[in-house]
Structure 1
């Protein structure tokens, strides 16, 4: 018996020694499971590298770490990401975005009409499900999951090109409030892209994993996810290695697009003041919108930014040509904060709601983590810090927090070394999300 135990011990020691030597001297295996964040406005793909234990977010051909959640249909092709976004102004009726708002959701006719009124493309009702009417090459109806599949397929190809191996398996994130139907339709979108989904993980849980909180000594985590179009706040309670979502609230009509719109309206008024007329050409408005978006990003880092846009303004003379002008204006962070002061205050409303519903005092929150590019705005971080009396955790790029956590989970599902502590979500079927407007 003692001899058998000795042989078994030697075998185990040899196995560990072989693993150590392999890790040190052999090239690590390629990751075969990717992590996907199919966002409302942007989406990303990342992998967990075995051996070194690092997460890598994969960029597109231009090196950009995320791509717009936009798909545009033309007579000859379907364009996803930045290629689709470039066609948005000239092909607005066949360029679909925000499809995640519709995927797997059952609508009443009035609700769908109200929701679709804000888009330039046509949304139709198919027995309670939303479909998009495309007229690029004949007339056809496409589903939200088909739109999602084109984005997922693009990211799958990005991963395959970068890794040099076929990719057939993935882990994908969804909003915590997604019901079973919405989750299944998200999986269907991935299946249409040729991907087998090994696990669906909630976005707040993925963000918490990106911050390493699945391995940290914390109990209550509040996740503020503010992206381009939506605000989601989740209160997580960690019990061992398990996350329970205690409360959710948000605003599905609040995000970075709204902050940019306030700046755009200000710029349009400044042009009218300087030149007597506002811009009317869609090319001018497109250039102005892009310049405003760039200025907003600059104001996140710098106290001021200069708008400089060449425009062709209509003078009011039907016989005369458009007048070329150069519009220049200085924008300050103080002005940006003033224009959006009421919108910034709205961010605190769902935070207060989740604390009330979770029966938790703000002092009992161990970590406040930020997700989404709009949480970079200094005033927003300041408001959250003032509310909790401590700075939020900003150690992870908020744009990539969710996909980073999903990639860690993908590494776990793929059995990658070094092994990670998995975060297990406790389903709470009685939980409902409170939405504000």
Structure 2
């Protein structure tokens, strides 16, 4: 008997030694499951690297790790991501964005008409479902899940190019408020891109995993997700690795785009004051929008930034255009934008962030002192005024140890590693469905 036990022990020791030596001297296997964050404004793809246990968020050919959730149709091709975003001003009727707002939802006719009035592209009602009407060299309609599939296919190809292996399986994140139909249509979008979805995970839970909260002893976690187009605030309860979304609130019409729009309106008015006319050409407005968007991003790091934009304005005293041209010679608009000015232009919008925060605390029957961790997600939470607003309200600093742009995709990639059996093994996040959960919206 003792000999048998000794033999079993020797076999186990040999297996551990073989595993150790293999991990040290053999190249780690390639990840076979990717993590996908199909966001309203931007999307990302990540992988959990076996052996190192690190998450790699994969960039495009220029190294950009966040891809605009935009798809544009021309007479000859369908473009997605940055290429599509570049056509947003010159091909607005055929450039679709915010498709995630429509995926899997059933709309009343008047509600869909009101929602679609915000966009330059045409949204039509097909028995309660939204579709987008495209007019290139012929007219046709596409569904929100088709738009999603083009973005997911783009990210699938990015991952395959980086990893050097074909990818067929993925984990994907969705908002906690998504019902079963919306989740199924998101899965359908992935299937159209040639991907099998192994698991759907809520975005707040994914963000909590990115911050490592699935491995530490915390109970009440508040996730503030402020991206380009929407604000989502979620209150999670966590016990023993299980997450329950206890309350949700948000604003579907508040995000970084709105902050940029305030800055664009300011710039347009400055142009009108300086040159006598506002910019009207699509190309001019496109350049101004790009310039103020860059200024907004730079103001997170610097107290002031300068913008310099050439414009083709039709002014009464503008130089005559070259013969045969209808476009006047350019003038140059220059301005200094300070962080103080940016905060002043947007202060009323920033204050709107606190309303859903207070609501989830009230619905979760918590005082703000009861929140153990405040997690920031989404690029707009980089804005210093927003971080200051949240820290002043709670009396403590939010957790900013993870890149807010990449928090969700990082957590999804960890879950993808778990589903793919990658080593070192991680503790999985188990979500407890809350069938009675409803999201409170502030608009």
Classify the TM-score, shorter chain.
over 0.9
Q: Distance in 1 between matches of 2:137 and 2:227?
A: 33
1:399 aligns with 2:421: no
| 1:350–1:21 distance in 2 versus 1, CA, 3 Å | same
User: Are residue 372 (structure 1) and residue 378 (structure 2) matched?
Assistant: yes
Cα separation, 1, equivalents of 2:137 and 2:207: 40
Secondary structure of the structure 1 residue equivalent to 2:120? coil
Paired residues for 1:64-83 under 5 Å: 64-83=64-83
TM-score by length of 1: 0.98
Determine helix, strand or coil for the equivalent of 2:238. strand
The answer to whether residue 388 in structure 2 is matched with residue 382 in structure 1 is yes
Q: Which residue matches 1:166?
A: 166
How far apart, CA to CA, are the structure 1 residues paired with 2:19 and 2:127? 56
| Structure 1 match to 2:258 | 258
Which residue in 2 is equivalent to 1:426? 432
Matched residue SS, 2:404:
coil
1:355 is matched with 361
| 1:5-46, Cα deviation, whole Å (9 max, x unpaired) | 332222222111111111111110000000000000100000
Write out the 4+ residue segments of structure 1 that deviate beyond 4 Å after TM superposition: 316-321
Cα drift, residue 137 of structure 1: 3.7
The equivalent of 1:96 in structure 2 is 96
Residue equivalent to 2:59: 59
Partners of 2:212 and 2:318 in 1: CA distance: 63
* Mapped partners of 2:263, 2:381: distance in 1: 17
Match of 1:211 in 2: 211
Question: 1:435 maps to which residue?
Answer: 441
Q: How does 1:32-431 map to 2 (within 5 A)?
A: 32-316=32-316, 321=321, 322=328, 324-431=330-437
The 8 Å contact of residues 214 and 421 in structure 1, kept in 2 or not, is answered as: yes
Q: Distance in 2 between matches of 1:64 and 1:75?
A: 27
Change (3 A) 1:318 1:58: closer
Aligned partners of 1:169, 1:362: CA distance in 2, in Å? 40
Secondary structure of the equivalent of 1:428?
A: coil
Conserved 8 A contact 1:123-1:133: yes
Q: Is the 8 A contact 1:315 1:323 kept in 2?
A: no
Describe the SS at the equivalent of 2:312. strand
TM-score by length of 2: 0.97
Kept in 1, the 8 Å contact 2:249–2:439? The answer is: yes
Residues 365-411 of structure 1: CA deviation (Å, up to 9, x unaligned): 00001000000000000000001000000000000000000000000
Tell me the CA shift for residue 318 of structure 1.
Answer: 11
Deviation, structure 1 residue 77? 1.2
Distance 2:319 2:271 in 1: 22
Give, in whole Å, the separation in 2 of the partners of 1:8 and 1:193.
Answer: 48
Question: 1:110 and 1:318, CA in 2 relative to 1: closer, same or farther beyond 3 A?
Answer: farther
Query: Does the CA-based 8 Å contact 2:38-2:44 persist in structure 1?
Result: yes
Give distance in 2, aligned partners of 1:365 and 1:274. Answer: 50
Matched residues, number: 437
8 Å CA contact 1:314–1:323 kept in 2: the answer is: no
In structure 1, what is the Cα distance between the partners aligned to 2:74 and 2:220?
Answer: 48
For structure 2, list consecutive stretches of 5 or more residues without a partner in the other structure. 322-327
Tell me the CA shift for residue 421 of structure 1: 0.8
Alpha-carbon contact 2:381-2:387 (below 8 Å) kept: yes
Q: Deviations over 1:193-214 (max 9, x none)?
A: 0000000000000000000000
Contact 2:234 2:245 in 1 (8 A): yes
RMSD: 1.2
Separation (CA, whole Å) in 2 of partners of 1:186 and 1:278: 42
Q: Deviations over 1:205-225 (max 9, x none)?
A: 000000000001111100000
Q: Secondary structure at the match of 2:228?
A: coil
Q: Which runs of 5+ in 1 are unaligned?
A: none
